[in-house]
Amino acid sequence: MGKSSQNPDEHNGEKKTPRTITRRCFLGTVGALSTTALIGTGSKASAAGNFEGWPNRFGVLTDLTACVGCRSCEKACNEVNNLPSPKVPFDDKSVFNEPRRPNQNAYTVVNQYANPKDKDKPIYRKLQCNHCEEPACANSCPIHAYNKTPEGAVLYREDFCFGCRYCMAACPFNVPAFDYWSALEPKIMKCTMCYPRIKNGGIPGCVEACPAGALTFGKRDLLLKLAAEKIAKNPDKYVDHIYGQREAGGTSWIYISGVPFGELGFPTNLPNKPLAEETKGFLGAVPVILTVWPALFGMCYAALRHRDQIEKEKSANEKKEEVTHE
């Protein structure tokens, strides 16, 4: 580089070239661009890292040992959200024959698992949006159709959505469901933690309906304490782990269980940090790289081209001189 930037200086005195890039100008620009790039990525990372979540946010504690699989939560969810009536009635156990996932017609579903401790008492797991503390769906969304409310709910806005379905790929719990039947007006369907109800001091429909005490709604920090107390009081009944306390950076919906969570289909390979952190560095750098790199490499290219041009002219001159000498 040193050589390439020396040549124009030497040459400037002799001949005028159409575009001139001085050594000082080139180094100055490179320095400014690099500083911009560094400052840009640095400030972004620290701003997100200091936020520890909204105070007084809500959550739900699911005690998987208490659920008896009555499907009252599914029924209540259907009624509260005005979802279409299911093909199989809510008191039909045939739905337990194969695992289900939440979809556009059911924001929550209950699946049955064999109980290794007592085969006569199967274990049930209710699936719905876990309302992550730092939701991967929201981070993956290119147009901010998702937002995490101070109450804890992760909400989706269909009027923003253009149907890319990145959120479906990003969610570690397979929750956002695309309404394929109205594909022309893209719509992701998922649990809202009954946001309109909790905003007015109520509790989610599923929690209200649960007769078994498997679901408890409250401030997330109180629920974490309650979960820890339950485990401490009954160490033989529960495994010593609160699922969702730290998984994927923490979730609003937390779980305690009598058997290891892996046996109930919970993803156990999630990091204890927000999934967004895996991609934050890369995605944060994209805008900087898109603006700075073209300028940086453009400069290099211009400098190299300039040198080549000068060398060409030089050799052409030399040839001419040789010709005239001859």
Instruction: Give yes or no for residue 69 binding other proteins (CB under 8 A).
Output: yes
Of residues 275-314, which lie at the interface with other proteins (CB under 8 A)? none
Q: Which of 156, 217, 255, 266 binds other proteins (CB under 8 A)?
A: 217
* Separation of alpha carbons 257 and 27, rounded Å: 62
Q: Shortest distance, CB of residue 151 to other proteins, whole angstroms?
A: 10
- Helices H / strands E in the chain, number of each: 9, 9
User: What's the sign of the alpha-carbon dihedral 177, 182, 187, 189?
Assistant: negative
**Interface with other proteins (CB under 8 A), residue from 91, 159, 236, 322:** 91
**73 binds other proteins per the rule CB under 8 A:** no
The nearer residue to other proteins, 71 or 280, going by C-beta atoms, is 71
Instruction: Give the residue, chosen from 53, 122, 163, 284, that forms a contact with other proteins under the rule CB under 8 A.
Output: 122
Specify the residue, 68 or 183, whose C-beta has the smaller distance to other proteins: 68
Total number of residues binding other proteins (CB under 8 A)? 30
Q: Which is nearer to other proteins, 139 or 216 (CB)?
A: 216
Q: Confirm if 259 and 116 have CB atoms less than 8 A apart.
A: yes
- 90 counts as binding other proteins under rule CB under 8 A: yes
Least gap, CB of 121 to other proteins (angstroms): 6
Burial grade of 303 (CB within 10 A; 0-12, 13-18, 19 or more): buried
- What lies within 8 Å, CB to CB, of 69 at 6+ separation is 93, 96, 110, 112, 122, 124
User: In sequence order, which ranges of 57-216 are alpha helices (DSSP H)?
Assistant: 72-80, 136-140, 166-170, 195-199, 205-209
Using the contact rule CB under 8 A, the part of the chain among 61-69, 97-105, 125-133, 186-194 near other proteins is 61-69
Counting contacts by CB under 8 A, is residue 231 touching other proteins?
Answer: no
Which of 121, 199, 305, 312 lies at the binding interface for other proteins (CB under 8 A)? 121
Contact residue for other proteins among 23, 44, 100, 219 (CB under 8 A) = 219
Q: Say how many CA atoms lie within 13 Å of 6 toward its Cβ.
A: 3
Q: Measure the CA–CA gap between 178 and 108, rounded to whole angstroms.
A: 15
**Residue 120 in the binding site for other proteins (CB under 8 A):** yes
CA distance 110 to 78: 13
Assess contact for 131 and 193: CB atoms under 8 A. Answer: yes
Would you tell me which residues interact with other proteins (CB under 8 A)?
58, 61, 66, 68-71, 90-93, 120-122, 198, 203, 207-208, 210-213, 216-219, 222-223, 226, 233
